[in-house]
Amino acid sequence: MIAPRGGTLATVWLAGASLVFYAYWGTEQVWILLGSITGNYLSGLAIAHRTRLKLPKKAVLILAVAANLSLLGYFKYYGFFTSNVAAIFGVSSSVSSVGLPLGISFFTFTQIAYLMDVYRGKVCEFTLLNYFLFVSYFPHLIAGPILHHAEMIPQFRSANYAFRIERLTVGLTIFIVGLFKKVVLADSVSVYVGPVFASPDVTLVEAWLGALSYTLQIYFDFSGYTDMAIGISYLFGIRLPLNFNSPYKAVSIVEFWRRWHMTLSRFLRNYLYIPLGGNRRGRARRYFNLLATMALGGLWHGANWTFVIWGTLHGIYLVINHAVSALAEWSGWPCNGLGWRVSGQAATFLAVVFAWVFFRAESVGSAIAMVRAMAGLNGKGLSPPPISLGAPASFVGMLLLIVFLAPNTQQIMARFRPQLDEVAPARLSWEPDVRSAIAVSIMAAVALTMMIRESPFLYFRF
């Protein structure tokens, strides 16, 4: 199917393609998406007083946001809430979790941000077709990024979808690199993760190998999806915001969250942390706001106390980070030398690895058992026989070298600027030549060969 070159017909075509894409994952979920889009679009019109009935703007905003959160809460947290209430009162609960519509967290947060910006007077585009495409645009719909209307709707309004060879070569290259990261790197290292986290008796070496394996799995999984989304979108001449920028190279937790899931960090900062008061009401209130924001950000990832603990840990990390920075500024302690950066990067990475244990574990108890093993309380060697050789130390070491030493995809492709954000180019730069074509073809062949089993992206379930 060939896309029209531009204008209303092209927007209709792309919106229809997005809806068909979403319907592939379950036609019953399409009605939830359509209902959400319709309700939020009408709410936006009401907040902007673009309807005959002039309702109080704040009341409409509160009701609309409450409706969005209720929809998300029902599908994502109903079983979690009822089971915890039952546990508190000591009764049994037979209520099972409701099936989670794919991408509901992403399209819900996207629309909440839109409504709040309408209320603040920051939205001047109210075309239904552009709004529909903004929410349903298929490269982002399943696992992000969380889009912002000011970045995307102007692109949809002026887009020209005519075929261009640069879009094809650049977009396809980025997509194949992302597919390779997911299928070859993330899925290969994941083989060791499950057995380690499922066993309560792993030793120190096995526990750290398992924790590092998951740290690398989620890195290449999320990085791979980000590349694939950017690559697909660039085929149409639409640039997505950057959502992943070598986060393990961060020298502090503050910098980590400027590099990891960047659009979620932006949403939490602009629509939760700042409305709570941000850093405007004193240091103690600032630290509370950080903890509350990150705990809720953890809960957004899933209906389990492990996610809440993961988010709270990062909140604690951020509090410590800001406190140390304030102390260093007060004392005049230099924080920009090579030693500071190396130690900061090492400490940040280890803190992130520790927190991932709770993110990955099925329960708080299994997470604590894993932490005990990482502390050496189950022994320090390999159990006889080792749990798995699916992710040997040499493979983990190779992936760590890639993470810390290699430039990321956006740096390699920087001169084409396939994403919205500016990225500093790397010395290793991609060129549309024969060598690049051969390298990308090999990566595509290897990735396609290894696609022997279904392995969804980790963020599909969030």
Please give the full DSSP string across 388-414, using - where no structure is assigned.
--SS-HHHHHHHHHHHHHSPPHHHHTG
Tell me, what's the pLDDT at 1? Answer: 45
b/e sequence 198-221, b meaning 16+ C-beta within 10 Å: ebeebbbbbbbbbbbbbbbbbbbb
pLDDT tens per residue, the chain (462 residues)? Answer: 455 555 688 889 899 989 998 888 777 789 999 999 999 999 999 999 888 778 899 999 999 999 999 999 998 888 778 877 777 777 766 655 567 788 889 999 999 999 999 999 998 888 999 999 999 999 888 877 999 999 999 998 887 777 789 899 999 999 999 999 999 999 999 888 988 998 878 888 889 999 999 999 999 999 999 999 999 999 999 999 999 999 999 999 999 999 999 999 999 999 999 999 988 888 889 999 999 999 999 999 988 999 999 999 999 999 999 998 888 776 767 667 777 788 999 999 999 999 999 999 999 999 999 999 999 887 666 555 445 544 478 899 999 999 999 999 999 999 999 999 888 888 888 888 899 899 999 999 999 998 877 777 777 666
Q: Which two tokens stand for residue 124?
A: 């001047």
SS3 339: helix
Tell me, what's the pLDDT at 36? Answer: 95
Tell me, what's the pLDDT at 460? Answer: 65
* 389 backbone φψ class: left, alpha, beta (φ>0; ψ -120 to 50): alpha
Whole-prediction pTM = 0.91
Please tell me the number of Cα atoms within 13 Å of 334 on its side-chain side. Answer: 6
Tell me, what's the pLDDT at 384? Answer: 53
Per-residue pLDDT tens digits for 199-250:
878 888 889 999 999 999 999 999 999 999 999 999 999 999 999 999 999 9
Would you say the C-alpha torsion 213, 215, 218, 223 has a positive or negative sign? Answer: negative
Torsion angle, alpha carbons of 3, 6, 8, 13, to 10: 10
- Measured CA to CA, the distance from residue 367 to residue 460 in angstroms comes to 22
Residue 260, strand partner residues: 244
Cβ atoms of residues 298 and 308 within 8 Å? yes
Tell me, what's the pLDDT at 24? Answer: 84
Residue 105 burial by CB count (10 A; 0-12/13-18/19+): exposed, middle or buried?
A: buried
Per-residue pLDDT tens digits for 320-353:
999 988 887 767 676 677 777 889 999 999 999 9
Would you say the C-alpha torsion 212, 213, 215, 216 has a positive or negative sign? Answer: positive
Outline where DSSP puts E strands in 32-159.
Answer: none
- Measured CA to CA, the distance from residue 251 to residue 248 in angstroms comes to 8
Write down the catalytic residue from 149, 301, 314, 322: 301
Tell me, what's the pLDDT at 380? Answer: 64
Cα–Cα distances in angstroms (integers) from residue 338 to residues 46, 247, 257, 332, in the given order: 55, 18, 21, 17
SS3 160: strand
Question: Is 301 a residue of the active site?
Answer: yes
Cβ atoms of residues 138 and 17 within 8 Å? yes
Please name the residue that has the structure tokens 């009162």.
89
Cβ atoms of residues 257 and 274 within 8 Å? no
Cα–Cα distances in angstroms (integers) from residue 246 to residues 117, 204, 312, 391, 410, in the given order: 30, 28, 23, 22, 10
- Measured CA to CA, the distance from residue 315 to residue 295 in angstroms comes to 7
